[in-house]
Structure 1
Amino acid sequence: MATDGIDVGIAVASKFIAVGAIVPQAQAKVGAVASQCYANPRLGSLILKLLESGLNTNDALSKALNEDSDKEERQVGVVSIRGDATAYTGSKCSEYAGHIVGSGYAVQGNILTGPGVLERMARAFETKRGELVDKLLDALSAGDAAGGDKRGRQSAAILVLRPSGGYLGLTDTYVDLRVDDHPDPVAELRRLFSIWELTLLNREDPNDVILKSSVASTVQRILKGLGFYNGDVHGNWDEATEEAFKAWAGLENFENKIRNDDKIWGSVYRYLINEARRRGLLIND
Structure 2
Amino acid sequence: MTFSIVGRSADGAAVGVAVASKFLGVGAAVPAALVNVGAVATQSYANLAYRPQALALLGTGVDAESVVKGLIAADDGPVSHRQVGVVGATGPGATFTGDDCHDWAGGVAGDGYAAQGNMLTGPGVVTSMREAWLGSAESLPYRLLAALRAGDQAGGDRRGRQSAALLVVSQGRGYGGTSDVWVDLRVDDHPDPVAELGRLLTMHSLYFESPDPDSLLALDGDVEAEVRSRLASAGFTGTALDDELASWAGVENLEMRIVPGSIDPLVLAHLRTVTQAGQ
Q: Which of 200, 208, 227 in structure 1 is aligned with 2:215?
A: 208
For 1:122, what is the secondary structure of its paired residue? Answer: helix
2:92 corresponding residue in structure 1: 84
1:2 corresponding residue in structure 2: 7
1:247 and 1:46 map into 2 onto residues whose CA distance is 45
2:65 and 2:274 map into 1 onto residues whose CA distance is 51
1:38 and 1:269 map into 2 onto residues whose CA distance is 48
1:45 aligns with 2:52: yes
Deviation at 1:113, TM superposition (A): 0.0
Residues 16 and 33 in structure 2, CA contact (< 8 A), matched pair in contact too: yes
1:234 corresponding residue in structure 2: none
2:63 corresponding residue in structure 1: 56
Name stretches of at least 5 consecutive residues in structure 2 with no aligned partner.
1-5
Residues 3 and 83 in structure 1, CA contact (< 8 A), matched pair in contact too: no
Residues 21 and 163 in structure 2, CA contact (< 8 A), matched pair in contact too: yes
2:141 and 2:197 map into 1 onto residues whose CA distance is 12
Q: Which of 32, 35, 38 in structure 2 is aligned with 1:31?
A: 38
Deviation at 1:15, TM superposition (A): 0.4
Deviation at 1:83, TM superposition (A): 3.1
2:207 and 2:111 map into 1 onto residues whose CA distance is 31
Q: Partner amino acid for 2:56?
A: K
Deviation at 1:207, TM superposition (A): 2.8
2:193 and 2:93 map into 1 onto residues whose CA distance is 27
Q: Which of 155, 164, 173 in structure 2 is aligned with 1:156?
A: 164
1:176 aligns with 2:184: yes
Deviation at 1:123, TM superposition (A): 0.1
Q: Partner amino acid for 1:250?
A: G
1:11 aligns with 2:11: no
1:64 and 1:183 map into 2 onto residues whose CA distance is 34
Q: How many residues align?
A: 270
> Which structure has the larger Rg?
1
Name stretches of at least 5 consecutive residues in structure 1 with no aligned partner.
232-237
For 1:158, what is the secondary structure of its paired residue? Answer: strand
2:264 corresponding residue in structure 1: 265
For 1:41, what is the secondary structure of its paired residue? Answer: coil
Deviation at 1:127, TM superposition (A): 0.4
Residues 208 and 267 in structure 1, CA contact (< 8 A), matched pair in contact too: no
Q: Which of 110, 124, 128 in structure 1 is aligned with 2:118?
A: 110
Q: Deviations over 1:38-94 (max 9, x none)?
A: 111101110100110111112222112112122111100000011331010011110
Residues 99 and 106 in structure 1, CA contact (< 8 A), matched pair in contact too: yes
2:204 and 2:91 map into 1 onto residues whose CA distance is 27
For 2:128, what is the secondary structure of its paired residue? Answer: helix
Q: How does 1:126-137 map to 2 (within 5 A)?
A: 126-137=134-145
Deviation at 1:267, TM superposition (A): 1.0
1:241 and 1:117 map into 2 onto residues whose CA distance is 51
